[in-house]
Structure 1
Amino acid sequence: MASNPSVSATAGPAFDPVTLAVAGVQGLSPYQPGKPVATLERELGITQAVKLASNENPLGPSPLAVEAGRAALADAHVYPDGNGFELKARLAERHGVTPEQITLGNGSNEVLELVARTWLAPGRAAVFSAHAFAVYPLVTQAVDAEARVAAALPADHPEQPFGHDLDAMQARVDGDVRVVFVANPNNPTGTWLDAAALEAFVAAMPVTTVVVIDEAYFEYVEEAEYPDTTQWLDRYPNLIVTRTFSKIQGLAGLRLGYAVSSPAIADLLNRVRQPFNVNAIAQAAGLAALDDHEHVEKSVAINREGVRQVSAALRELGLRVIPSVGNFVTFDTGRDPGPVYDAMLRDGVITRPVENYGLPGHLRVTVSTRADNDRFLAALKKALA
């Protein structure tokens, strides 16, 4: 097709999509997931690599979920239930709430974004701790709200090094703060908050502030004083609790999470939630996974043993370990972690650098089977040497 001679390629300024984007997005750096096994094997020409970077369940998905998901594929030509009626009813029964208090998400990650889109905007602020989950600052910046990062507990804290300092977080809250994000336990530190301290914090929040307690690793925690904050909803109408099927149920690839809240909060979240955000396979698999108590029990048991194995071995190497109640352990390599990380990659072991979380020198490793844990420890010893 002939060009139009009346239109000059040099006339006027060049198209710049960055300057046209909203302010928060212009400076946003996307979330970087753990390196996939296929990518590493393709890059280095190796096989049998093991991924210990994304806190996935080493036992795989719930067998009951796999069976249900396969059966649901037969109706893949039909749109999923946009309201997730059956799954919401089962979740409501589990938590002792009504279905109107459940919001389904494409992973709990999407629920966090829905919170930001609902309550944050320019001139409003969110509070969260240093070293907290990376999605909190991402969703805050994306809507051009202010991120107020509270200092964490010190590295030499006797119980919760780098953990949430609730007093410091409360000090950052004023009339402009619409959302407070609390990860319990926190990723990537594995630190946690007990029931008394956390409820006192929630009770102290103003009625103009929504409190989000992110419990993605809830099922792994076995400490007696660890709370189930879904039981607090009657007392605190500004509370939102998020959970996921990605970890204990092993359904990370299906992207399924949810929030439990007051009906009024859930109504608002569902106004901005996209239709059919949770596919039919995920809904069927999630519903079945809720009945797979054996898979959950096995996952908790192997994780308990693995955390002890990995933590003890790291300490024997003279490395500082952050005590974790999740399905991962973060440790200080005592040096630039880049060469250590790269050396382990060449041995086919993928871990996760966490310098972007304000933890220089640290790596995070997912706790896996004893064989995978042994392989990681052997690769680490070789890399450190």
Structure 2
Amino acid sequence: MSSPTHAGEKQPLLPRRGLGQTRETATDHSNRILFPKQARARKAVAEFRKKTRPPTPWEGRVGMHLPVDEIDIEQVAQSVTGWKALSEFEVVRLFPDTTTTSSSTTQQPQQHGEGEELPEIFVFSFGACIFWNFPNEAAEKEWISQTLLQELNECCGDSYKDDEIQEAMDSVSFQYYAPPAAAAAAENNNNNTSQPPIFTIKRDVCTLSTKESGEKLAVSFALAKSSLLSLYELRVQQVIERNSHLPEEMVQKGRVHMSTHDLTREIGRLFLVKHGINLDQSLIDTPEEFWEDDRFESTYDTTLKYFKITKRLDLVNERLDMVGELHNKILEENHTHHAVVLEWIIIILIVMEVLIEALVLVYEKS
């Protein structure tokens, strides 16, 4: 990854943000029959689950944010202050430097049980930031605004738009595996059914089998991908909304009054979104970290499955294919209409030529 340029000479780091630059505001159309608005159900269900979950001795917070489209993690590791940094491949792990004192009280870790769990941040090269054990969303946003976007501004690419940042935000809870009570443990030992702790995620609570940062990193990779996919889902929804009036117009008027130039531009926007989703290595590929250490790859796979990454990708592509099919039908209709117009022009010219020849013959005979 290239190092950042001097102040005032900062250049784009990734072409991906071109999607946001070419996107136009969705037109407000009353008809949404063929392209219903996508429901953001997961976050609503998550809030309900938080209210209905049985109480636990302690739960920490995991916050997901996607503020920018690119981060130079090597430069972050070198430039960040107040935090120790460990970088590898496409992610840098930040944890508090206990030799310094943070100036912000909102970034202090939560307390639980027998001791204090320090906060951690996993910063990914594609712009995602996963916060572990920060007290609340406000503290996470404060770190992003004060540290990432100010102190480390030269390490960042372009910021996403407010609606995209909001859509990519999410959170879950985490806790550490607690061994069973002594009586239950004795019974398990007698029955030879004792099992080693395993990672689980249920009702938006991650139960970590260890306290190793590698396990948190595996979960963070999956959470970061879910956050990035949420952004693409929003862009797909905006494509759908921008084109949702076209089928109704075809029904009411028999054809869509859209020039080939405008239609070609819309097809181009559609391809930008589709290529961004299917060619983004950060979203598709297995992280390189698991080629070096695959102990927690099953944790990563479990989290991906919980957030239904594969199904969501398939659904996004199906929706884009539907819009693409609509564009192809309109383009085909425009070509057919253009061909019909040309045929009528030729017929009219032939008729005019015949009439002129007839008038010439009549004039010559007279």
- Is TM > 0.5 for Structure 1 vs Structure 2? no
TM-score, normalised to structure 1, is 0.23
TM-score by length of 2: 0.24
* Structure having greater relative contact order (Cα 8 Å, sep ≥ 6): 1
Structure (1/2) with the larger helix percentage: 2
